[in-house]
């Protein structure tokens, strides 16, 4: 039951993030960004509830009380259809909570309000979106005066980077939920939210290029690490590898907007490595 709700909230969080990336109107973008942030907060609260509940029965099972398996419907169709589906999912989820679930009134109230806001905006103005999925590599090459090989490279690299940042968000989320040391949890939470921002920066660029796609699902073994030392060892190396990958891409790409974004995010990733190493030295 709770895992099913967790999965639906996980999907809603991603859908709302992508809606904010695809929407043209500033009002729509801000609305979806607000809803996205709240649904992610719901996810954190629900994960804490699930962990506490399962620990009461069998502490040994606590490491796998929730996961990020998902089955998101396609998003590369008419934006208004996509938004209507989000509204329907919000309405359905708002009725699925039982009275014995902590925060059930808050969860339902938020989602009823979100669905109402979406419906009102649909009725008054409707939604406009960028052509986030329409471009071919030939279109990109022509628009940005680059060759097709470069356009293909940019498309593949951006997809890889979105996947890496999404995996980082899930990994940080999972560890923070299981971590008793609040000081370390606070530092890692900062990195989780920065990884979420990086994921969104890449998605925005993909949308502007017309090559947006959802992040790929992440295998459980990549994020189900609740031991802090093991997590840090893996993620320090993952971050080092990602910085090296970004350097290679920045050196190779001819697309100035992509190069500038990579240089900006690379500096933040280097800061992540410093923080992770500092925590590793002090555990």
Supply the Cα-derived Rg of the chain in whole angstroms.
Answer: 20
Per-10-residue mean pLDDT, the chain, length 283 = 91 96 93 97 94 62 68 82 95 94 95 97 88 87 89 95 96 90 93 97 94 93 86 94 96 93 97 95 89
What is the number of other CB atoms lying within 10 angstroms of the CB of residue 257? 13
- Provide the pLDDT for residue 131: 87
State residue 83's pLDDT score: 94
Domain boundary among 66, 97, 129: 129
Say yes or no: 145 and 281 in one domain. yes
The tokens of 16 are what?
Answer: 């709302």
Same domain, 5 and 29: yes
Inter-CA distances, 259 with 56, 240, 262, Å: 50, 18, 5
CB count, 10 Å around CB of 128? Answer: 12
* Residues 159 and 234 both lie in one domain: yes
pLDDT reported for residue 55? 64
- Please tell me what DSSP assigns to residue 95: T
Tokens (6 digits) for 121: 């905006």
Same domain, 213 and 124: no
Q: Please say whether the dihedral angle defined by the alpha carbons of residues 260, 264, 266 and 267, taken in this order, is positive or negative.
A: positive
- How many domains, in total, are found in the chain? 2
**Final residue of a domain: which of 110, 129, 148?**
129
Last residue of a domain, one of 105, 129, 153: 129
Q: What's CA 124's distance to the chain center, in Å?
A: 29
Q: Are residues 23 and 143 in the same domain?
A: no
176 and 269 inside one domain? yes
Q: At what angle do helices 26-57 and 148-178 cross, to 10 degrees?
A: 40
Same domain, 181 and 277: yes
Give the integer Cα–Cα distance in Å for 8 and 1: 11
Range of the domain at 32: 1-129
Q: What local confidence, expressed as pLDDT, does residue 76 receive?
A: 76
Tell me which residue has tokens 């509940």: 53
User: What's the confidence (pLDDT) of residue 71?
Assistant: 82
Note whether 15 and 117 are same-domain residues: yes
Please give the structure tokens belonging to residue 105: 């009134």
Domain check: are 190 and 279 in the same one? yes
In angstroms, what CA-CA distances link 74 with 90, 92, 180, 244? 17, 19, 38, 32
Q: Looking at the structure, tell me whether residues 141 and 204 fall in a common domain.
A: yes
Give me the phi and psi of 130, to 5 degrees please: -70, 160
Burial degree of 96 (CB within 10 A; 0-12, 13-18, 19+): middle
What's the CATH number where 172 sits?
Answer: 1.20.1260.10
Statement to judge: residues 104 and 189 lie in one domain: no
Task: Tally the residues of the chain.
Answer: 283
pLDDT at position 59 is: 44
Distance from C-alpha of 128 to C-alpha of 168, rounded to nearest angstrom: 31
Return d(Cα 156, Cα 150) in angstroms, integer.
10
Cα(74)–Cα(182) distance, rounded to whole angstroms? 38
Q: Tell whether 150 and 212 lie within a shared domain.
A: yes
């Amino acid at each position: 039951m709770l895992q099913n709700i967790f999965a639906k909230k996980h999907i809603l969080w991603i859908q709302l993030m992508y809606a904010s990336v695809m929407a043209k109107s500033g009002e729509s973008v801000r609305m979806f960004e607000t809803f996205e942030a709240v649904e992610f907060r719901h996810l954190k609260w629900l994960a804490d509830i699930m962990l506490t509940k399962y620990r009461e029965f069998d502490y040994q099972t606590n490491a796998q009380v929730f996961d990020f398996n998902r089955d998101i419907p396609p998003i590369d169709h008419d934006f208004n259809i996509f938004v209507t589906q989000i509204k329907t999912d919000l309405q359905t989820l708002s009725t699925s909570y039982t009275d014995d679930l902590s925060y059930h009134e808050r969860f339902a109230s938020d989602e009823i309000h979100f669905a109402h806001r979406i419906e009102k905006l649909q009725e008054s103005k409707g939604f406009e979106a960028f052509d986030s999925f329409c471009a071919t590599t030939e279109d990109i090459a022509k628009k940005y005066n680059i060759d097709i090989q470069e356009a293909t490279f940019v498309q593949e690299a951006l997809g890889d980077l979105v996947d890496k940042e999404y995996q980082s968000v899930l990994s940080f989320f999972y560890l923070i939920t299981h971590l008793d040391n609040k000081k370390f949890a606070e530092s890692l939470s900062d990195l989780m939210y920065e990884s979420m921002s990086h994921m969104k920066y890449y998605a925005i660029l993909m949308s502007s290029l017309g090559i947006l796609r959802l992040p790929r699902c992440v295998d459980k073994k990549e994020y189900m690490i609740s031991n802090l030392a093991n997590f840090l060892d893996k993620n320090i190396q993952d971050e080092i590898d990602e910085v090296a990958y970004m350097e290679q891409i920045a050196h190779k790409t001819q697309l100035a907007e992509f190069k500038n974004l990579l240089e900006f995010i690379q500096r933040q990733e280097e800061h992540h490595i410093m923080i992770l190493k500092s925590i590793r030295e002090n555990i």
